[in-house]
Structure 1
Amino acid sequence: MTTLANLCILTACALPIVCAGLAKSSGWGRRPKDGGYNNRDPRAWLAAQTGRAARANAAQANSFEALPLFIAGVLIAQQAHANQATVDALALGFIAARLVYIVCYIADQHYARSAIWAVGVACSVALFFV
């Protein structure tokens, strides 16, 4: 059965890919020898980035790190037959928090980013207790 929370899992899995695209986009349109994106060695190219591109890459890494707790929370809540509306609301809260988190990370709003990160973690943890 497809639920809103299950669609949120799919969305959460797509967020690191979006962040990767944002991180790499600063190098598109230029040759690697001119500092453009190097698809032959993307990890080294990303590691050498600074500013917005580096922050988008860090948001990508953190988006991957946030996935296991969120996915486990949704699946455990649904397996325990928790109220689906509550599970859906917490899953949507997580997605909203992650989107704001990514924006804050790329915009270098570190205090807001940390506060929003906590909201996302709280949504994930709450899923274990609904």
Structure 2
Amino acid sequence: MTPAFWCIVIAIFMNYLLAGLGGWLTTQQTGRLDIRYPRLQAQSLTGMAARVNAAQANSWEILTVFACSVFIAHLAGVPASQSALPAYLFIASRILYCACYTFNLIPWRTVVFVVGIFACLWLIKMAASYSG
């Protein structure tokens, strides 16, 4: 399996870590974890618990973009050694993004989000140069 594919696995695992952290923070804030209506409970969260919940939701959303970018590069024949760097950059940006979201570092959150998008675009640009 290529490094970029491993990065997809890491991104998925990171989302589950965020879910665990979010669950713990929710329990700290509300005294319980409502497994019957978790989305309804999430709407009532504030502070760090709400931000971790939002970071997790964003991480699931961007995972699709990243995974598609990796597959596009792979199917276009981009060598694994070349697709690794933007994939690593994406993972680093997601770690920083979640930290920035959790600790309410709003301007930096946007900057590192854009870095992650740039990494996805970099993979697609490499695919375009290999397939055309």
Equivalent residue, structure 1, for 2:9: 10
Counterpart for residue 117 of structure 1: 113
The 8 Å contact of residues 23 and 53 in structure 1, kept in 2 or not, is answered as yes
Look up the match of 1:68: 64
Candidates 85, 90, 94, aligned match of 1:98: 94
Q: In structure 2, what is the Cα distance between the partners aligned to 1:82 and 1:106?
A: 35
Q: Output the amino acid matched with 1:21.
A: G
Q: Percent identity?
A: 34
Structure 1 unaligned blocks of 5 or more: none
Residue 43 of structure 1 is aligned with which of 36, 39, 43?
39
* Match among 80, 90, 98 for residue 84 of structure 1: 80
Counting only pairs closer than 5 Å after superposition, residues 13-32 of structure 1 correspond to structure 2 as 13-28=12-27
Deviations 1:82-102 (A, max 9, x none): 132120111011001000100
Structure whose residues are more often helix by fraction: 2
What is the distance in 1 between the residues matched to 2:37 and 2:78?
45
Alignment TM-score, normalising by the size of structure 2: 0.88
Query: Shift of the alpha carbon at 1:64?
Result: 1.0
Count matched residues. Answer: 126
Cα distance in 1 for residues equivalent to 2:116 and 2:28:
35
Q: CA deviation at 1:37?
A: 1.7
Q: Give the stretch that moved more between structures: 83-92 or 46-55.
A: 83-92
Residues 24, 46 of structure 1: 8 Å contact kept: no
What value does the CA root-mean-square deviation take over the aligned residues?
1.6
Distance 2:113 2:60 in 1: 13
Q: Is the 8 A contact 2:26 2:45 kept in 1?
A: no
Segments of structure 2 that go 5 or more residues without pairing to the other structure are 127-132
